[in-house]
Amino acid sequence: MESIISTVLTGVIIVLTFTYLYMKKAHSFFQRLGISGPKPAPFFGILPEYKKKGITELDLELINKYGNVVGIYHGHKPIVLVADPEMIKDICVTKFNKFKNRKVNLDLGPLLRKTVALSDNSQWTFLREHISEVFKPNYLEQITGKVLQSTEHLIQNIEQKLTAENDFNFQELCLAFSVDSLCNSLFGYNVNSYKDRDDKTVNMIKKGWMAGTAGIARPAVACAVCPAMSKIFSAFSYNAIPADVRKFLTNLVTKKMKKRHTEGGRTDLLSFIMTSSRRRSVIVDSQNNTTKSAANMSSDYRLSETEIVANCLFFFLAGYDTTASTVVFTLYCLAKHPSCQDKVVSEISNNLSSENMSYHEIDNLQYLDMVLNETLRLFPTYLRYGRAVGEDTIIKGIKFPKGTEIQFPIYAIHRNKDNFPNPEKFDPDRFSKENVSKRHPMSFIPFGAGPRDCFGQSYAKLAVKLAVVSLMQKYKFSLSSKQNDPPTLAKTFYLRPENGLWLTVDRRMCDL
């Protein structure tokens, strides 16, 4: 018995010794590189601080204390935070080929692996080439009407609430608008999800979003604390998206693809993806001297059905919460600054000739664009973007070893007083052409930067602007007495108000 106890104790001591030595070596990574940063907590590194402070507060604290290059640890995994605009330019633009990919430490399954965001090297280049095409102005012009249909649902839902109250939380309303506009723009599916809570398509998309964002937190932490866990997840074929969601969305997309393949004539993002990736539009029948549609859909497109399904899901993962939060924060900023709200209303009145707004009319509203950019400066939807170091690289005297992960703390960059004097103040004039020309272009990067930026940003801006314009034409907004000012921010990777956002809504005397 004593020998068994002795053997067990010896084993425990050996494991603890090796764990300590491994942790000590892992946590000396930045010391060897001469990069400063906070002392990591045993095993977990800086992870406990996220729960305590949230990314926004923590990143501001880190950059203010340690400078524009900070070394932190997610468990045992080293991450370099880079907030220096010139270094960001080198990483994202000048030396892009050395930082082409994102660092993915947890395999989220074969479906998400085929998305633009998580693909690497030639596969990323291939997907980006075909999918980014659908967000060009000529396509966005064609789906503007679909987004407007969703803004009509938003107004209907507001009108229903105004029968009982004029103070209410806009977060849920804007989340409904976001998923409605995505469904209509992507599939031509015109739904009012705020009213129809049992819609299966919407509920499956929401379930996929929850699994693809909030649902990966624990596995990601496990892999950071114990890197070997990534192999275990891989061995058990871990998939972030539930099987029922994968099956439903695959059936939905493939059915709509087949219909568009044979019938054509659709104007939604799915049909545009098919158009941009098609090898040929017709097959020539030489015997009868006629043309006909290709019979074999899978051989007629450069993108596979799985790649199209995966990236349709990715549009919802990337756009659902972020679009809603941007609309909410824009309304908050305008409600808090009535003079800016009046300028937006005046610009709409002077430049929009009818309710049938076009993409180009919306795109030409310069002051609204300044308001949106200033909102995204103060409340960027993505709090960090990341890159993987593809080969040993030295930038401004700092060595970045191959395999290291770099992240850009967007919230802290946007609130840096060297980039934006009096950074807490809401001032749309910061984004006048004259003021923009005076700043480093990498001091404002809400959608990332360089070839791997967010190619869907033009759609996101269109959806937000259409929602804001439609609402400003009918309502005047002010801060509700129920709303904290400034709003409490959720401690999540996406920026959103923790408890929603309450606004007071009054109908305008006459529609614009």
pLDDT digits (tens, 9 = 90+) for 208-236: 888 877 667 778 877 777 777 888 888 77
> 25-507: CATH homologous superfamily?
Cytochrome P450 (1.10.630.10)
**What's the CA gap between 310 and 124, in Å, rounded?**
13
Structural domain boundaries in the chain = 25-507
Percent with pLDDT over 90 in the chain: 68
Q: Which of 174, 187, 177 is nearest to 150 (CA)?
A: 177
Contact between residue 456 and residue 494 where contact means Cβ atoms under 8 Å apart: no
pLDDT for res 281: 52
Rounded to the nearest angstrom, the gap between the alpha carbon of residue 104 and the centroid of all alpha carbons in its chain is 16
Mean pLDDT of the region 10-24: 54
Burial of 241 (0-12, 13-18, 19+ CB in 10 A): buried
Q: In what order do the strands lie in the sheet with 502-507?
A: 167-169, 502-507, 475-479
Helix (H, G, I), strand (E, B) or coil at 184: helix
Mean pLDDT check: name the lowest of 14-23, 120-129, 163-172, 228-237: 14-23
For 215-224, which contacts have Cβ atoms below 8 Å and span 24 or more sequence positions?
Answer: 215/240, 216/106, 216/108, 216/240, 219/106, 220/105, 220/106, 221/47, 221/74, 221/75, 223/75, 223/77, 223/105, 223/106, 224/45, 224/47, 224/74, 224/75, 224/76, 224/77, 224/105
**What's the CA gap between 105 and 118, in Å, rounded?**
11
Mean pLDDT of the region 459-484: 96
Per-residue pLDDT band at 379 (split at 50, 70, 90) = very high
Mean pLDDT of the region 274-298: 58
pLDDT for res 214: 64
Q: Tokens at residue 3, please?
A: 């020998």
Contact between residue 449 and residue 93 where contact means Cβ atoms under 8 Å apart: yes
CB contact burial 451-477 (16+ within 10 A = b; e otherwise): ebbbbbebbbbbbbbbbbbbbbbebbb
pLDDT for res 208: 86
Run of H or E including 333: helix 305-336
**What's the CA gap between 159 and 312, in Å, rounded?**
32
Give residue-wise pLDDT tens across range 490-505.
988 889 999 899 999 9
Give residue-wise pLDDT tens across range 100-121.
999 888 788 888 889 998 999 9
Q: Give CA separation, 165 vs 178, 197, 502, in Å.
A: 23, 21, 12
What's the CA dihedral at 121, 125, 131, 136 to 10 degrees? 130
Residue numbers in the known binding site for heme are 454
* Single-letter code of the amino acid located at 350: N
Q: Parallel, antiparallel, or unpaired: how do β-strands 69-74 and 283-285 relate?
A: unpaired
Q: In what order do the strands lie in the sheet with 405-409?
A: 69-74, 77-82, 405-409, 384-388
Q: Tokens at residue 355, please?
A: 């309710």
Per-residue pLDDT band at 5 (split at 50, 70, 90) = low
CB contact burial 117-126 (16+ within 10 A = b; e otherwise): bbbeeeebeb
**What's the CA gap between 114 and 249, in Å, rounded?**
15
Give residue-wise pLDDT tens across range 275-286.
888 876 544 443
Residue 95 has pLDDT above 80, yes or no: yes
Residue numbers in the known binding site are 454
User: DSSP assignment, residue 214?
Assistant: G
Q: How far apart are the first and last CA of the chain?
A: 87
Residue 97 has pLDDT above 50, yes or no: yes
**What's the CA gap between 3 and 485, in Å, rounded?**
66
Residue 317 has pLDDT above 70, yes or no: yes
Give residue-wise pLDDT tens across range 323-337.
999 999 999 999 999
pLDDT for res 482: 93
pLDDT for res 283: 43
**What's the CA gap between 502 and 168, in Å, rounded?**
5
The strand pairing partners of 73, in sequence order, are 78
